[in-house]
Amino acid sequence: MTVAVPGSIAALPRVVGASLRVPLVTGERVEYANLDHAASAPCLEQVRDAVDELLPWYASVHRGAGFASQVSTRVYEQARDSVRRFLGARPSDTVVFTRNTTDSLNLLARSLPRHTSVVLFDTDHHAALLPWRGPNVHRLTTPATPAGAVRELDRALRATPEGPRLVVVTGASNVTGEVWPVAELAAVARRHGARIALDAAQLAPHRPVDLRALDVDYAVLSGHKVYAPFGTGVLVGRADWLQAADPYLVGGGATARVTDHGDRLGVAWSAVPERHEAGSPNVVGVHALAVACDVLGRHWEQTTAHERELLARLRAGLATVPGAHELSIFGSDQDRVGVVSFVVTGQDVGFLAAALSAEHGIGVRDGAFCAHVAVHRLTDGKRALRASLGLGSTAEHVDRFVAALRSLVVEGSRWPYRIVDGRWVPENDERALPPFLR
């Protein structure tokens, strides 16, 4: 299902919960303004419908003789083609389904050849920053410009020893939304004989990603960022390193044959991708991800136009809030997706987030967004507030957010709050939970 929107945008995919109304501490109910898409995007209606269609056929994947098992297996394997198309992968690339981006990058980290040098920037999300271990990991401080990042990577690769090398880059910052110069960084990696892995978790929901055009070896993303919140992620890329590595999660499916030798078991591992997909596959989550990829792939023009309009509206409105300062790595003019983080002079961002929710029905994120190095560097050690846009966002949501934030900063809250377990909460909060939680 699609919905017409004003202007040049013909139609946008709809999300589940677009008309959700939430209670306020003041007693009213308002339409929920979800400005936290960067953390988890809502489910597309097409994805929900596809999951409902699959569920009666849900059965074991692979090796099942029953007809429902054959259907589920076909759904699971066809999903690899949808993801491959969505990411512009090469025909020879393998598609490994995981739990999420973090799982995908940990899998890749444990599949590197011995003594691989890893080069990355320290302002990355923790999922891309933390899986790499040992003396061959080189963390670079992010320069002030994209061109500086390219030069710094070139300098770092010149200094790394001969042998296998991997560069890890972010497609779009989950803190500032700024788009990184992936193609330029990949060109530097190629000149030095290095491979490059792209964390596309924040980029893929907002812009097309083409591994061949970018000349990237690996890409990772999470279903819950691309409107398929059913617990699936993916690692797509060159098969040789993954094929040569033992699975870091072992069990059924990863094994081609297990033999008993008395004092030990002999194991022959499956080939990729099954080699790294041990356990019963999440066919529902994989199908949801595939459908989301297909839907987004058909609506890029509308999606990006919608986001550009709302992002300009959000940034312009934020500039009118006294004391609000937008965070940026490369400068305010850098191309970016619909993610804006900021601080407000003299204001506790946790308090602002709580009041925006309790009094105005607006969901934002406060903290360091699993990118502590980046946030603390940009805020001199403080936390930040983040508003992020997506298909569930509207102009009314943005305008309500700007007006509410300005009111809180200028006039203060209408309701008393206190800190409980380190978080601001409204006093005497009598908002009822939905019936399924009572």
d(CA 68, CA 55): 10
| N- to C-terminal Cα separation, the chain | 32
Q: Which residues of 238-257 are buried (b: 16+ CB within 10 A; e: fewer)?
A: bbebbeebebebeeebbbee
Q: What's the one-letter identity of residue 196? A: I
Residue 396 contacts residue 32 (beta carbons within 8 Å): no
Residue 1 contacts residue 46 (beta carbons within 8 Å): yes
d(CA 105, CA 185): 19
Selecting among 130, 370, 395, 409, the annotated active-site residue is 370
Q: Which residues of 290-301 are buried (b: 16+ CB within 10 A; e: fewer)?
A: bbbbbbbeebee
Q: What's the one-letter identity of residue 8? A: S
For residue 200, give the nearest of 225, 177, 214, 219 by alpha carbon: 219
Judge whether 370 counts as a catalytic residue. yes
Residue 224 contacts residue 42 (beta carbons within 8 Å): no
β-strand pairing of 117-121 with 137-140:
parallel
β-strand pairing of 33-34 with 29-31:
unpaired
Residue 35 contacts residue 388 (beta carbons within 8 Å): yes
**CA-atom Rg of the chain in angstroms:** 23
The residues facing 390 across adjacent strands are none
Residue 194 contacts residue 167 (beta carbons within 8 Å): yes
d(CA 369, CA 226): 18
Catalytic positions: 370
